[in-house]
Structure 1
């Protein structure tokens, strides 16, 4: 009787939603369900959700994302739709989200589905007769809701297509921020650096002497070597452009299991665009202040089908960019990129993609302004201390990737990726230096206690204004700046193989989602470095960038480094019913590095090698009170080998890896029918046995430091009606040195380049006359330049280092800053849209990228005007 009544109500619901002449509602509960659905349809401005069958069947029109969904074998019995959708998730490995009021799904029935077919077709069959449809949100999440007529995603939830993760973002026990393509488009973003300004807990840093390109810290620890592309390490020293990004994912917290060495504070993954079976041409044409010129073209073309029915598609992304930097003299960036990709077997059990990314850069680089004691030098914001006609940064990066995916059945999917990458660079950069001194203390220090000023300095190691022309000058008008030349010619390369299996199965009544992975390859670095003598200095207040370069070049070192590494891992998530997930994993890494270095001054060849064999662990559990929220705890370890950045020395070759532990507790919730996602986490990371280099002997390095970062972060992501979008986050980081052998005066001091607070916000809203406006900004608190020598002399008596007596000290740090940006865009017709962006609205002067030896100012106010097009 009860069963019959439920079936009657379900049938009434189905007929009511389907509408037309096929029937009406049965019973008051049917009217209630219908009213709920209609109210949801009227009250929500959610644009259309459509998708479905290849033959354009009952639930909508065929859309291109269907071809990219995996083919699986399904055996789902008839019954309640809720049970059917749960079985579909297990069988397909995809995530189902509902865009319906709570409780609406109850009572719906499905006729089930059986057979080997694309996942989209299987879900279509499950939904037949319900009046519901679905759409693809990202690459692995399907949103089920009311039938509509357009493929427009408006949910806040985004997905992460990395095979190392099997769960939806809400159910993944880790802080993850995804910056989608639409945010990059609204903000007019062209680089990875600007993309990462949308992520709390990240601080940008200036390039170093031996390695240029993107440099940053995540949750207080350097992440220059933790940048990935499609799940494989992208360790080249270059500045990355966003023209081929589908989205950028930042995983903060423990990631050693999934990504191997490094990943102390987290990792960054650049997700590339890939071919689909739809035909389109999109792109941008932009002109701006400071001679900015940029064009991008994104072309996708289906090329037919293979004999087995699989689709073939080609995609090409092209970019050209040339610009000066607002508020900076001489500096110029020129980039060209091309990224073709070819996909086979779309919509079948076996899919393959071959892609190539080429990015070339020819810049007049910017190492900014010098330090003056413990502050940025009081020079003009625009001052350029290099040589206009002799400084350059040339890179020509090529990344070739082949990926094959195969679905054995509904339980097992295999993935294999092969990559060869080549990163040549040739650079000569001027680093301006006035005084980058620090001095040490051999006096003891108590845990967490900073030494008193009288004990900080050894006067024999003190430097004053470091220039030979006028060593005791104090008037900025007479201070000379040393133009240190950083010259490197190098080629880094990478040959890598990554294989994984994604398993979905049951042990008893416990569902399991497991990833088994093995990867390995060879990374190489071959830098040749030079030194210069006789380089003319510059005046602090009026540097002459057009001065003819007259330095004498000499060979310094020739280095060859090769690292062979491999890792094997598994991560298993056990679904203990619908409310609790438990995750555990272990990884074992092998890392062997050999280095041969020739030093011209001694005419010696020095060989060094190091082998590390190290496990990493992870454990987590998730409690899901509802399908729209989770609370989690996560624990993970990682390690940093001595040759992590492909560099060794006699002293580091005998040192075992640094070891890291992270604890995190957090929560994630979806609101407003998944239009709004809120996440928060508290965490603590400890680095044991941090490497320290003796300030009196660069050949001596020991594992004698301990560092700690603890804090919290929150984020809000929303895609709501009326073009109301929000991406915002806040992070609080409390970092400090908790032990140090060589630098006891640093105990209790903050770590380098770690602001206590970072905040980002970006909001857009529909305005009158079809205009959409956006406003946002960033706050970065003050940062120090070094954790090992945090204090420098700011005043002393005496005229030489030998007789100097320190009378005052200060942290070598840069002040915090706010920067605000805005945009407005408006469609002209279906194909063209106008857009204007303004950056640094208030024209604030600030230091954007600090380094212990130099400082790079942020760009001044600038504007960008463009046309977005699609055909």
Structure 2
């Protein structure tokens, strides 16, 4: 429907009651005209939303999913914009951490670029997509321009290409629309000096053009951890040209600037097994020169062309650049000595720091042709796709210089200690913290030249089909072939001497197949199998650290290793209840990963194709409206992992590292009146054990050596709508001020701390 027709229809509907009042006024001279307060709801510009259900999406924004989510034989969790807004969370990392089956990781291997996700026990830091195209810049990601977030669980290479062993994250961005105009502003203030302003403006020009702009500015201290702070600013511009009913072109620009000043690496573990626990009352020890920042700029063009009634082309082209950089400081506890005695004491000391920078340059094009065709009496929904990507990542490090005076030693020289102090302790022998911890080391950093040039080109072809075999039985299948060409150059970034030049190419072939059976009008049971593969050296941030996704070398060359291969079996059911207002899902799954690349103590020569692991689990979910007034999203997963093969025999039988067996989340909202609503969020994660990714968790004598304790955190929120244009929302995050931790480094040297209690008050106004 065109915007003009829609406006005329709405105008007519609104004028009819006025006409009736006017007619009454002609017969009755006295009319009592009372003030009427209209408390309407905002129209949702998201074309994938389920009408009237703020927490439920109807369809995927990925055009390759031809059926509604309730009919798709795969676990796909969707976090809608309404759910994001109500939660009060803004960074993508925070939003995903609240979803079942997803945990967070630390900056393993000294890498602290952006966010690190682990889906169903498998690394997914490079498996983040924006509108269906891989986002190779490992940046800090924000939600201000996001319409919905889709989380596909299980191996997904036939859709996403290399990687995606545990799943993939697809952020769907806000696009210009001709459906209606709107202007929305939000301003928030809160504890920890929090301030945040966003705007979302959409304007149509005539019948064919529309422009949409989203703007963000925000800053805050890290709750409970000042002077560590975060700042975010962004701009997303989208333009739509609808040439005809059958052809449209959308172009957009996305820019984001994020900076964490004095980023906080949290705490550390103390004690020995079996009494290994997080240290209490760890001060903020980040140095004033520490930072973590990301700058992102992308340009994207989209074509939607209905060539014929049964033939539609969707095409996306993107060029992007991002720069990421960090200088961070960790700390760890141990035995220390002061300058005049050999009497030992236990204290934490600053480490030497972690640094890195990246310059990312990428181009991607993807075209998908949908062809609805009846063959042999069966209705087919074919998808034929082609994709080309060119990803370049140049990276290096910083030189750290310390000018502060050392205040303790890490070793004793006997009864009469001699020798200089050599460490920066946070506290003295009496447990008292030193003053001015943030300037203790007098630390500064100078950027060095590049030490790694990573470059991957990929050409991919896909073919998929969804077909109704009977009125109840449907089949879904697809295959994808990826030809890639990888080049990796390493050099000494102080001398400029090339230390390694590696290259190889290969072809990955992956597929999936599913059957779904309608057991009722709006209910299916399904079974599916899917594969995923990853390449040797596929993680741009890991260089030749083979245990972290870096290249495995052998005899000075890149190893002729097989790709890591994951196979997933899933049996599930989906029920679209209450006239499509509530979606209930449940799935049993098993993912087996073989030919895993295992690291060899950070050596450049690693152990390849020696690892194998398995994850089994059950995941359930509810999303939508439970009653006319109660809506929400509830999910939970119970999983078990096991290392089935390893070059280290003692690893076999142990669980995977950074793996939470149980996770649960619930976000419920109750509409008390047309004006007042309130709700709560609960999230629980069982304990887990740190270690090197893709290998066994670190155990000593059967007890976890690097534990992350279980936690349960509660948030509450309430909103009041004063008019159709104006509403107010209050969020209290971590209402119980729970001390909890989200991830641990493999050595226990730093332990990421969750945010303390935070209060946020947001005003929303629509012109």
Task: Give SS of 1:526's match.
Answer: strand
Aligned position for 1:282: 184
Aligned position for 1:521: 389
Deviation of 1:325 after TM superposition, in Å, equals: 1.5
Aligned position for 1:670: 576
Instruction: Flag the 1:416–1:468 CA change in 2: closer, same or farther, 3 A.
Output: farther
Instruction: Flag the 1:866–1:173 CA change in 2: closer, same or farther, 3 A.
Output: same
Aligned position for 2:197: 295
Gaps of 5+ in 2: 14-42, 404-422, 545-550
| 1:395 maps to 2:294 | yes
**Does the 8 A contact of 1:722 with 1:765 survive in 2?**
no
Task: Give SS of 2:308's match.
Answer: coil
- Aligned-partner Cα distance in 2 for 1:339–1:228: 17
Aligned position for 1:579: 472
Aligned position for 1:139: 47
- Aligned-partner Cα distance in 1 for 2:215–2:766: 15
Aligned position for 1:249: 150
Counterparts of residues 142-221 of structure 1 (less than 5 Å):
152=52, 156-208=56-108, 209-221=110-122
| 1:567 maps to 2:460 | yes
Listed one character per residue, the Cα deviations across residues 369-402 of structure 1 (whole Å, up to 9, x for unaligned) are 2233564542415x22220x21012221111101
**Does the 8 A contact of 2:398 with 2:445 survive in 1?**
no
Task: Give SS of 2:737's match.
Answer: coil
| 1:632 maps to 2:632 | no
Deviates more, 1:288-297 or 1:717-726: 717-726
Instruction: Flag the 1:698–1:290 CA change in 2: closer, same or farther, 3 A.
Output: same
1:686 alignment partner, one of 581, 584, 592: 592
1:413 alignment partner, one of 300, 312, 315: 312
- Aligned-partner Cα distance in 1 for 2:153–2:613: 17
1:258 alignment partner, one of 159, 173, 180: 159
**Does the 8 A contact of 1:391 with 1:428 survive in 2?**
yes
Aligned position for 2:764: 868
Aligned position for 1:782: 687
**Does the 8 A contact of 2:219 with 2:230 survive in 1?**
yes
Deviation of 1:330 after TM superposition, in Å, equals: 2.0
Counterparts of residues 51-130 of structure 1 (less than 5 Å):
55=5
Listed one character per residue, the Cα deviations across residues 466-498 of structure 1 (whole Å, up to 9, x for unaligned) are 87989x9997x6324232311212201211111
Deviates more, 1:203-212 or 1:402-411: 203-212
**Does the 8 A contact of 2:55 with 2:82 survive in 1?**
no
Task: Give SS of 2:506's match.
Answer: strand
Aligned position for 1:359: 256
Counterparts of residues 740-779 of structure 1 (less than 5 Å):
740-741=646-647, 743-767=648-672, 770-779=675-684
- Aligned-partner Cα distance in 2 for 1:56–1:425: 45
Deviation of 1:645 after TM superposition, in Å, equals: 1.4
Aligned position for 1:88: none
Aligned position for 1:5: none
Deviation of 1:662 after TM superposition, in Å, equals: 0.4
| 1:342 maps to 2:239 | yes
Listed one character per residue, the Cα deviations across residues 160-197 of structure 1 (whole Å, up to 9, x for unaligned) are 12012111111100001111111111112211122224
Task: Give SS of 1:366's match.
Answer: coil
1:430 alignment partner, one of 304, 329, 332: 329
- Aligned-partner Cα distance in 2 for 1:729–1:792: 30
| 1:835 maps to 2:740 | no
**Does the 8 A contact of 2:574 with 2:585 survive in 1?**
yes
- Aligned-partner Cα distance in 1 for 2:147–2:473: 32
Deviates more, 1:368-377 or 1:315-324: 368-377
Task: Give SS of 1:396's match.
Answer: strand
TM-score (norm: length of structure 2): 0.85
1:813 alignment partner, one of 699, 707, 710: 707
Aligned position for 1:73: none
Instruction: Flag the 1:469–1:639 CA change in 2: closer, same or farther, 3 A.
Output: farther
- Aligned-partner Cα distance in 2 for 1:183–1:562: 38
Listed one character per residue, the Cα deviations across residues 122-151 of structure 1 (whole Å, up to 9, x for unaligned) are xxxxxxxxxxxxx9995268x8xxxxxxx7
Aligned position for 1:231: 132
- Aligned-partner Cα distance in 2 for 1:344–1:466: 67
- Aligned-partner Cα distance in 1 for 2:453–2:211: 38
Aligned position for 2:752: 856
Listed one character per residue, the Cα deviations across residues 692-724 of structure 1 (whole Å, up to 9, x for unaligned) are 111284433322110110001100112255431
Deviation of 1:828 after TM superposition, in Å, equals: 1.1
1:482 alignment partner, one of 350, 366, 380: 350
- Aligned-partner Cα distance in 2 for 1:749–1:228: 32
Give the number of aligned pairs. Answer: 689
- Aligned-partner Cα distance in 1 for 2:338–2:59: 59
- Aligned-partner Cα distance in 1 for 2:258–2:331: 23
Listed one character per residue, the Cα deviations across residues 819-871 of structure 1 (whole Å, up to 9, x for unaligned) are 00000101111111011010111111010233324211111111101111112
- Aligned-partner Cα distance in 1 for 2:723–2:249: 36
| 1:596 maps to 2:489 | yes
Aligned position for 2:230: 333
Aligned position for 1:371: 269
Deviates more, 1:541-550 or 1:756-765: 541-550
Listed one character per residue, the Cα deviations across residues 546-572 of structure 1 (whole Å, up to 9, x for unaligned) are 325246869586111111111111111
- Aligned-partner Cα distance in 2 for 1:518–1:286: 43
- Aligned-partner Cα distance in 2 for 1:663–1:473: 60
- Aligned-partner Cα distance in 2 for 1:288–1:670: 39
Task: Give SS of 1:478's match.
Answer: strand
Instruction: Flag the 1:291–1:674 CA change in 2: closer, same or farther, 3 A.
Output: same
**Does the 8 A contact of 1:487 with 1:530 survive in 2?**
yes
**Does the 8 A contact of 1:430 with 1:483 survive in 2?**
yes
Instruction: Flag the 1:301–1:698 CA change in 2: closer, same or farther, 3 A.
Output: same
**Does the 8 A contact of 1:503 with 1:513 survive in 2?**
yes
TM-score (norm: length of structure 1): 0.75
Deviation of 1:324 after TM superposition, in Å, equals: 0.8
- Aligned-partner Cα distance in 2 for 1:223–1:473: 47
| 1:538 maps to 2:425 | yes
Deviation of 1:679 after TM superposition, in Å, equals: 0.3
Listed one character per residue, the Cα deviations across residues 649-676 of structure 1 (whole Å, up to 9, x for unaligned) are 3734212211110000100001111222
Counterparts of residues 617-628 of structure 1 (less than 5 Å):
617-628=511-522
Instruction: Flag the 1:625–1:473 CA change in 2: closer, same or farther, 3 A.
Output: farther
Instruction: Flag the 1:474–1:784 CA change in 2: closer, same or farther, 3 A.
Output: farther
1:716 alignment partner, one of 615, 622, 626: 622
Could you say which structure has the larger radius of gyration? 1
Aligned position for 2:506: 612
